Amino acid sequence: MTPLETLRSRHLWPDQKPTAPAGFEPVWIDGDSVSTIQNVAKPDTKVVLELGSWKGLSALLMLKMWPGCQVICVDTWLGSEEHRHDPKLAADISTLYETFLVNCWDFRDFVTPIRTDTVNGMREVFECGVQPDLVYIDAAHDKTSVIQDAVLAATFFPKAVIVGDDWSWESVREGLRHILEAHDWGYGFNINTWWFGKNAR
Protein backbone atom coordinates (compact mmCIF):
# COMPACT_ATOMS: atom_id res chain seq x y z
CA MET A 1 0.00 0.00 0.00
CA THR A 2 1.16 3.55 -0.67
CA PRO A 3 1.32 5.94 2.31
CA LEU A 4 -1.89 7.59 1.10
CA GLU A 5 -3.68 4.25 0.77
CA THR A 6 -2.61 3.40 4.33
CA LEU A 7 -3.96 6.72 5.56
CA ARG A 8 -7.23 6.24 3.67
CA SER A 9 -7.64 2.73 5.08
CA ARG A 10 -7.62 4.23 8.58
CA HIS A 11 -10.31 6.80 7.77
CA LEU A 12 -12.98 4.94 5.88
CA TRP A 13 -16.19 6.44 4.62
CA PRO A 14 -19.44 4.97 5.92
CA ASP A 15 -21.13 2.39 3.68
CA GLN A 16 -24.30 4.46 3.45
CA LYS A 17 -24.64 8.14 2.64
CA PRO A 18 -25.77 9.92 5.83
CA THR A 19 -29.19 11.56 5.88
CA ALA A 20 -27.98 14.97 7.11
CA PRO A 21 -29.00 18.06 5.13
CA ALA A 22 -26.73 19.00 2.21
CA GLY A 23 -25.55 22.60 1.65
CA PHE A 24 -22.58 24.81 2.37
CA GLU A 25 -23.84 27.82 4.35
CA PRO A 26 -22.29 30.01 5.53
CA VAL A 27 -19.86 30.27 2.63
CA TRP A 28 -16.49 31.84 3.44
CA ILE A 29 -14.25 30.97 0.51
CA ASP A 30 -14.72 33.19 -2.56
CA GLY A 31 -13.51 33.48 -6.15
CA ASP A 32 -10.53 35.66 -5.20
CA SER A 33 -9.32 33.04 -2.71
CA VAL A 34 -9.72 30.29 -5.29
CA SER A 35 -7.66 32.11 -7.93
CA THR A 36 -4.98 33.08 -5.37
CA ILE A 37 -4.63 29.46 -4.25
CA GLN A 38 -4.36 28.38 -7.87
CA ASN A 39 -1.70 31.03 -8.57
CA VAL A 40 0.58 30.10 -5.68
CA ALA A 41 0.14 26.31 -5.93
CA LYS A 42 2.19 23.98 -8.10
CA PRO A 43 0.29 23.38 -11.36
CA ASP A 44 0.59 19.61 -10.91
CA THR A 45 -0.77 19.55 -7.37
CA LYS A 46 -1.78 15.98 -6.57
CA VAL A 47 -2.21 15.87 -2.80
CA VAL A 48 -3.75 18.64 -0.71
CA LEU A 49 -3.89 18.70 3.08
CA GLU A 50 -6.74 20.91 4.26
CA LEU A 51 -6.90 22.03 7.88
CA GLY A 52 -10.47 23.14 8.51
CA SER A 53 -13.07 21.83 6.08
CA TRP A 54 -16.49 22.77 7.55
CA LYS A 55 -19.06 21.47 5.00
CA GLY A 56 -16.55 20.63 2.30
CA LEU A 57 -16.81 23.59 -0.06
CA SER A 58 -13.13 24.55 -0.17
CA ALA A 59 -12.15 20.88 -0.54
CA LEU A 60 -14.51 20.49 -3.49
CA LEU A 61 -13.21 23.68 -5.09
CA MET A 62 -9.68 22.33 -4.90
CA LEU A 63 -10.82 19.05 -6.45
CA LYS A 64 -12.20 21.14 -9.29
CA MET A 65 -8.89 23.02 -9.64
CA TRP A 66 -6.86 19.81 -9.88
CA PRO A 67 -9.13 17.03 -11.15
CA GLY A 68 -8.02 13.67 -9.81
CA CYS A 69 -6.07 15.13 -6.89
CA GLN A 70 -6.50 13.78 -3.37
CA VAL A 71 -7.69 16.08 -0.59
CA ILE A 72 -7.03 15.07 3.01
CA CYS A 73 -9.46 16.97 5.24
CA VAL A 74 -8.53 17.41 8.90
CA ASP A 75 -11.29 18.85 11.08
CA THR A 76 -12.85 18.12 14.43
CA TRP A 77 -16.17 18.98 12.79
CA LEU A 78 -17.06 20.64 16.08
CA GLY A 79 -16.88 24.15 14.64
CA SER A 80 -14.45 26.91 15.61
CA GLU A 81 -14.95 28.96 18.74
CA GLU A 82 -16.72 31.74 16.83
CA HIS A 83 -19.13 29.22 15.31
CA ARG A 84 -19.95 27.55 18.60
CA HIS A 85 -20.96 30.92 20.03
CA ASP A 86 -23.22 31.76 17.11
CA PRO A 87 -26.78 30.61 17.85
CA LYS A 88 -27.53 30.51 14.10
CA LEU A 89 -24.83 27.86 13.58
CA ALA A 90 -25.50 25.67 16.62
CA ALA A 91 -27.93 23.39 14.75
CA ASP A 92 -25.50 23.06 11.83
CA ILE A 93 -22.71 21.97 14.13
CA SER A 94 -24.65 19.01 15.50
CA THR A 95 -24.72 17.47 11.99
CA LEU A 96 -21.60 19.15 10.59
CA TYR A 97 -19.58 16.01 9.93
CA GLU A 98 -22.51 14.21 8.30
CA THR A 99 -23.24 17.25 6.11
CA PHE A 100 -19.59 17.26 5.04
CA LEU A 101 -19.90 13.58 4.08
CA VAL A 102 -23.13 14.21 2.16
CA ASN A 103 -21.65 17.17 0.25
CA CYS A 104 -18.45 15.28 -0.66
CA TRP A 105 -20.11 11.89 -1.20
CA ASP A 106 -19.64 11.77 -4.99
CA PHE A 107 -15.93 12.53 -4.50
CA ARG A 108 -15.29 10.07 -1.69
CA ASP A 109 -12.59 8.30 -3.69
CA PHE A 110 -10.64 11.56 -3.63
CA VAL A 111 -11.38 12.87 -0.12
CA THR A 112 -9.98 11.49 3.15
CA PRO A 113 -11.74 12.87 6.22
CA ILE A 114 -9.60 12.80 9.38
CA ARG A 115 -11.79 13.71 12.30
CA THR A 116 -9.39 15.14 14.82
CA ASP A 117 -7.62 18.37 15.74
CA THR A 118 -5.06 19.89 13.40
CA VAL A 119 -2.01 18.88 15.45
CA ASN A 120 -2.93 15.21 15.69
CA GLY A 121 -4.13 15.20 12.09
CA MET A 122 -0.89 16.66 10.73
CA ARG A 123 1.15 14.27 12.86
CA GLU A 124 -0.75 11.28 11.52
CA VAL A 125 -0.37 12.39 7.90
CA PHE A 126 3.37 12.95 8.46
CA GLU A 127 3.91 9.66 10.30
CA CYS A 128 2.09 7.82 7.52
CA GLY A 129 4.68 9.18 5.10
CA VAL A 130 2.29 11.33 3.08
CA GLN A 131 3.85 14.58 1.83
CA PRO A 132 1.21 16.93 0.43
CA ASP A 133 1.95 19.40 -2.38
CA LEU A 134 -0.22 22.03 -0.73
CA VAL A 135 -1.39 22.68 2.83
CA TYR A 136 -4.46 24.90 3.10
CA ILE A 137 -4.91 26.34 6.60
CA ASP A 138 -8.41 27.45 7.58
CA ALA A 139 -9.02 26.05 11.07
CA ALA A 140 -8.86 28.01 14.35
CA HIS A 141 -7.99 31.69 13.79
CA ASP A 142 -6.62 32.72 17.20
CA LYS A 143 -2.96 33.75 17.14
CA THR A 144 -1.68 30.71 19.07
CA SER A 145 -3.46 28.24 16.81
CA VAL A 146 -2.31 30.04 13.65
CA ILE A 147 1.31 29.88 14.82
CA GLN A 148 0.98 26.24 15.82
CA ASP A 149 -0.70 25.13 12.58
CA ALA A 150 1.59 27.09 10.27
CA VAL A 151 4.87 26.12 12.01
CA LEU A 152 3.90 22.47 12.24
CA ALA A 153 2.84 22.40 8.58
CA ALA A 154 6.19 23.93 7.52
CA THR A 155 8.09 21.49 9.76
CA PHE A 156 6.33 18.29 8.71
CA PHE A 157 5.83 19.23 5.07
CA PRO A 158 8.83 21.35 4.03
CA LYS A 159 8.21 20.98 0.28
CA ALA A 160 4.53 21.90 0.42
CA VAL A 161 3.17 25.29 -0.59
CA ILE A 162 1.43 26.64 2.53
CA VAL A 163 -1.58 28.88 2.04
CA GLY A 164 -4.28 30.03 4.41
CA ASP A 165 -7.49 31.93 4.74
CA ASP A 166 -8.57 35.03 6.66
CA TRP A 167 -5.70 37.48 6.30
CA SER A 168 -8.39 40.02 7.26
CA TRP A 169 -8.27 38.69 10.85
CA GLU A 170 -5.84 40.63 13.03
CA SER A 171 -5.09 37.45 15.01
CA VAL A 172 -4.11 35.62 11.81
CA ARG A 173 -1.78 38.45 10.73
CA GLU A 174 -0.26 38.61 14.23
CA GLY A 175 0.40 34.86 14.20
CA LEU A 176 2.12 35.02 10.83
CA ARG A 177 4.16 38.10 11.81
CA HIS A 178 5.34 36.21 14.88
CA ILE A 179 6.57 33.32 12.72
CA LEU A 180 8.25 35.59 10.19
CA GLU A 181 10.18 37.39 12.96
CA ALA A 182 11.80 34.07 13.85
CA HIS A 183 12.31 32.68 10.33
CA ASP A 184 13.78 34.18 7.22
CA TRP A 185 10.86 32.97 5.13
CA GLY A 186 8.99 34.65 2.33
CA TYR A 187 5.30 35.45 2.47
CA GLY A 188 2.57 37.17 0.57
CA PHE A 189 -1.14 37.85 0.62
CA ASN A 190 -3.92 38.73 -1.76
CA ILE A 191 -7.14 40.10 -0.29
CA ASN A 192 -8.03 37.40 2.26
CA THR A 193 -5.59 34.65 1.31
CA TRP A 194 -2.00 34.41 2.60
CA TRP A 195 0.95 32.14 1.90
CA PHE A 196 4.41 31.72 3.36
CA GLY A 197 7.39 29.41 3.47
CA LYS A 198 11.11 28.96 2.92
CA ASN A 199 10.73 29.31 -0.84
CA ALA A 200 7.69 31.57 -0.93
CA ARG A 201 7.77 34.88 -2.77
Q: How far is 199 from 157, CA to CA, in rounded Å?
A: 13
Torsion (CA) 158, 48, 3, 79 in degrees, nearest 10: 100
The amino acid at 80: S
Interface with ligand SAM (CB under 6 A), residue from 138, 172, 194, 196: 138
Interface with ligand SAM (CB under 6 A), residue from 8, 20, 41, 77: 77
Interface with ligand SAM (CB under 6 A), residue from 7, 62, 125, 139: 139
By CB under 6 A, residue 151 contacts ligand SAM: no
By CB under 6 A, residue 117 contacts ligand SAM: yes
By CB under 6 A, residue 58 contacts ligand SAM: yes
Cα distances from 171 to residues 13, 46, 79, in angstroms, run: 35, 31, 18
Q: Note the residue count of the chain.
A: 201
Residue from 15, 41, 47 nearest 111 by CA: 47
* Binding span for ligand SAM by CB under 6 A among 47-55, 104-112, 124-132, 178-186: 47-55
By CB under 6 A, residue 78 contacts ligand SAM: yes
- Of 23 and 158, CB closest to ligand SAM: 23
